[in-house]
Amino acid sequence: MNSDTPVPVASPTSAPKRTLLEPAPGETLRRARSYFFEGLCVSSAVVVLVPLFLIFIYVVSKGLSGLSLDFFTQLPKPVGDERSGMGNAVVGTLILVAIGCSIGLPTGILAGIYLAEIGRGKLAAAIRFIADVLGGVPSITIGVFVYALVVVTMKRFSALAGGIALAIVMLPTVTRTTEELLKLVPAHLREASLALGVPEWRTSLLVVLRTASPGIGTGVMLAVARIAGETAPVLLTALGSSYWSFAIDRPIASLPVQIWRNATSPYPKWQQEAWTGALVLIIIVFLLNLLARIATSRSVKAR
């Protein structure tokens, strides 16, 4: 407001007298503008959350009708065969995630310990930075990379290649979460352990890492949820399969790839199976997210 406009209260003759409680000129407009923009923010919250519900409700209602024991025990069959399912894809996803975790978790956690405990100076900063950048690399590019590195070398698509691709996808998340959480562990715990003569490596693994483990578990679950739904890198490395397959050096089926194949097929029967697959996948991912959330709130409360 302009400071040189005469204050109404001070002018005795002209201008109606105003008490302090009356709104100043322009105040109504300001209020209105405030309500307007607040309203915009609220409505954008609605606009964002509605698609979530739509997608969620739609997948549940479409997928539920196909959910039966056959879905988990049968192979994908041609149209016409009633007893058909995605059992091999469910198992395949579990195998792929297991391989991804067995490579990605130790690497990520140990790299995280390195960053939190002994990494200093330019090297650690570079690693931290590169880990963040790796998190932003499109997953399809990771697929092409692993194809060139593993599939070409082994001369065939394989579960192992798929697992390696997933490990690379999860690596940055695991590394950075581990680092952040280790840094939150109070220093006196570590000092107490060292003062008792416990060697550094045991202190790191048994005291510091253990204290931070609930939080790290959260990060791990979120990373697992993410790789369970990854399609593009798996498509280029594990390829997919319409049979039961447990061999690590053979192509293997996975839920996301199978959903993609079925969804883009013209047969309603196959599409129905894809909806059921999508429901199963979403349930897995949401459960992992929920567990991660519960674990976090528990560990926060415990502190």
Partner 1 sequence: MSTVEVPMQQAASSAPQSDAPHGTRGADRAFRAILTMFGLTVLAVPALMVLELIRSSRLAIDKFGLGFLTGRVWDPAREEFGALPFVYGTVVTSLIAIVLAVPVSLGLAIFLSDLAPHRIRKPLGFMVELLAAIPSVVYGFWGIAVLRPWLRDTVEPVIIKYFGYIPLFEGPPLGFGMFAAGVILAIMIVPTITSVSREVMQAVPQLHREAAVGLGACAWDTIRYAVLPSARSGIIGAIILGLNRALGETMAVTMMIGNVPKVSASIFHPGYSMASVIANEFVEATSDMYVSALSKIALLLFGVALLLNLFARWLVSSTKSKLEKRA
Binding of residue 75 to partner 1 (CB under 8 A): no
Binding of residue 40 to partner 1 (CB under 8 A): yes
Piece of the chain touching partner 1 by CB under 8 A; list 7-15, 67-75, 228-236, 241-249? 228-236
Task: Tell the smallest beta-carbon distance from residue 159 to partner 1 (Å).
Answer: 16
Q: What is the CA radius of gyration of the chain?
A: 28
Candidates 67, 94, 110, 248; binder of partner 1 (CB under 8 A) is 110
Nearest-angstrom CA–CA distance, 226 and 214? 19
| Triad 179, 162, 149: Cα angle to 5° | 90
Task: Tell the smallest beta-carbon distance from residue 13 to partner 1 (Å).
Answer: 28
Counting residues that bind partner 1 (by CB under 8 A) gives 106
Task: Tell the smallest beta-carbon distance from residue 14 to partner 1 (Å).
Answer: 26
Task: Tell the smallest beta-carbon distance from residue 68 to partner 1 (Å).
Answer: 20
- Of 95 and 164, which CB lies nearer to partner 1 in the complex structure? 164
**Joined tokens for residue 149:** 């590195």
Residues 133-162 touching partner 1, rule: CB under 8 A, are: 133-134, 136-145, 147-149, 152, 157
Binding of residue 221 to partner 1 (CB under 8 A): no
- Cα-Cα end-to-end distance for the chain: 50
Task: Tell the smallest beta-carbon distance from residue 67 to partner 1 (Å).
Answer: 16
Residues 88-107 touching partner 1, rule: CB under 8 A, are: 106-107
DSSP H or E stretch at residue 94? helix 87-113
**Cα dist. 191→41, 60, 200, 217, 219 in Å?**
48, 52, 10, 24, 26
Binding of residue 29 to partner 1 (CB under 8 A): no
Binding of residue 60 to partner 1 (CB under 8 A): no
C-alpha dihedral sign at 129, 111, 107, 286: negative
Binding of residue 283 to partner 1 (CB under 8 A): no
DSSP 8-state assignment for residue 242? S
Nearest-angstrom CA–CA distance, 79 and 219? 41
